[in-house]
Amino acid sequence: MEERRLQQQINEQLFKKLQLAYFCVDKSMRVTCFSKNLRNYGYDSVLVGAEIEEHVDFMIGLDAQTELDLPMVESPSGTPVAVSLLPSSGELTVLISDASGHAEQRQLLQQKANENELLLEQQHKLMGQLSLASKELESKNQQLEEASRLQTSFISGVSHEFRTPLTSIIGYTNLVKEDLLLVSESEPEVKASAQQNSEHLRAVQRSSKHLLSLVENLLDHGKLDSNEIFIRPKSTDLAELFDDVALLLKPLSDSKNIEFKLDIELTNSFMAVMDDSRLRQCLINLVGNAIKFTDQGSVTLTARLADESLTISVADTGLGISPENLKKIRLPFWQAADTGKAGTGLGLTITERIIELMGGDLDISSELGKGTCVSFEVPAPMLLETPIGECSTVSGSKVLLAEDDADIADLVAMMMSEAGVDVTHVENGALAIEALRDQPFDLVLMDINMPVMTGYEALEKLQESKNKTPVVILSASSIEADRAKAESLGCFDYLVKPVDIGDIFQIMNRVVDQESL
Partner 1 sequence: MKKKKICMVGDFSVGKTSLTQTFVNNVFSDKYLTTIGVKIDTAIIGDTKLIVWDVAGRDSLSPINSSYLVGAAGIVLVGDGTRENTIDDLSIIWDTVKNRIGEVPVVVALNKADLYDWSVSDQSYTFFSEQGWDVFSTSAKDGRNVEEMFQALVEKITN
On whether the CB atoms of residues 421 and 397 are closer than 8 A, the answer is yes
Q: Which residues bind partner 1 (CB under 8 A)?
A: 53, 57-58, 60-62, 66, 68-74, 80, 99, 103, 106-107, 110-111, 113-115, 117-118, 121
Q: Minimum distance from CB of 121 to partner 1 (Å)?
A: 6
Q: Minimum distance from CB of 56 to partner 1 (Å)?
A: 10
What residues have CB less than 8 Å from 363, skipping those under 6 apart?
A: 374, 375, 376
Q: How far is 168 from 498, CA to CA, in rounded Å?
A: 8
Q: Minimum distance from CB of 71 to partner 1 (Å)?
A: 6
Considering the complex, state which of residue 68 and residue 181 has its C-beta at the smaller distance from partner 1: 68
E runs forming strands in 89-179: 91-98
Considering the complex, state which of residue 80 and residue 371 has its C-beta at the smaller distance from partner 1: 80
Instruction: Tell me the torsion sign for CA atoms 473, 478, 482, 484.
Output: positive
Report DSSP state, residue 38. Answer: G
Q: How far is 344 from 332, CA to CA, in rounded Å?
A: 9
Considering the complex, state which of residue 69 and residue 367 has its C-beta at the smaller distance from partner 1: 69
Q: Minimum distance from CB of 33 to partner 1 (Å)?
A: 22
E runs forming strands in 147-269: 234-237, 259-266
Beta bridge partners of 401: 425, 445
At residue 39, what are phi and psi to the nearest 5 degrees?
Answer: -70, -20
Q: Minimum distance from CB of 129 to partner 1 (Å)?
A: 9
Q: How far is 185 from 235, CA to CA, in rounded Å?
A: 39
In degrees, rounded to 5, the angle at the alpha carbon of residue 142 between the alpha carbons of residues 141 and 143 is: 90
Considering the complex, state which of residue 73 and residue 175 has its C-beta at the smaller distance from partner 1: 73
Q: How far is 45 from 26, CA to CA, in rounded Å?
A: 18
Q: Minimum distance from CB of 47 to partner 1 (Å)?
A: 18
Q: Minimum distance from CB of 76 to partner 1 (Å)?
A: 9
Q: Minimum distance from CB of 15 to partner 1 (Å)?
A: 22
Q: Minimum distance from CB of 92 to partner 1 (Å)?
A: 13
Q: How far is 198 from 176, CA to CA, in rounded Å?
A: 8
DSSP reduced 3-state for 335: coil
Half-sphere exposure at residue 23, Cβ-oriented, CA atoms within 13 angstroms: 29
What are the Cα distances from residue 38, in Å, to 20, 85, 130, 446?
9, 15, 57, 108
Closest CA to 498 of 180, 205, 218: 205
Q: Minimum distance from CB of 281 to partner 1 (Å)?
A: 56
Considering the complex, state which of residue 66 and residue 386 has its C-beta at the smaller distance from partner 1: 66
Q: How far is 423 from 434, CA to CA, in rounded Å?
A: 16
Q: Minimum distance from CB of 62 to partner 1 (Å)?
A: 5
On whether the CB atoms of residues 380 and 308 are closer than 8 A, the answer is yes
Report DSSP state, residue 30. Answer: B
Considering the complex, state which of residue 81 and residue 348 has its C-beta at the smaller distance from partner 1: 81
- Edge-to-edge strands, sheet with 398-402: 422-426, 398-402, 443-446, 471-475, 493-496
Q: Minimum distance from CB of 99 to partner 1 (Å)?
A: 8
On whether the CB atoms of residues 132 and 376 are closer than 8 A, the answer is no
Considering the complex, state which of residue 110 and residue 488 has its C-beta at the smaller distance from partner 1: 110
Beta bridge partners of 261: 300
Angle between helices 480-488 and 455-464 (to 10 degrees): 20
> For residue 24, which amino acid is it?
C
On whether the CB atoms of residues 54 and 30 are closer than 8 A, the answer is no
Considering the complex, state which of residue 99 and residue 383 has its C-beta at the smaller distance from partner 1: 99
Q: Minimum distance from CB of 120 to partner 1 (Å)?
A: 10
- For the chain, the straight-line distance linking the first and the last C-alpha, in angstroms and rounded, comes to 133
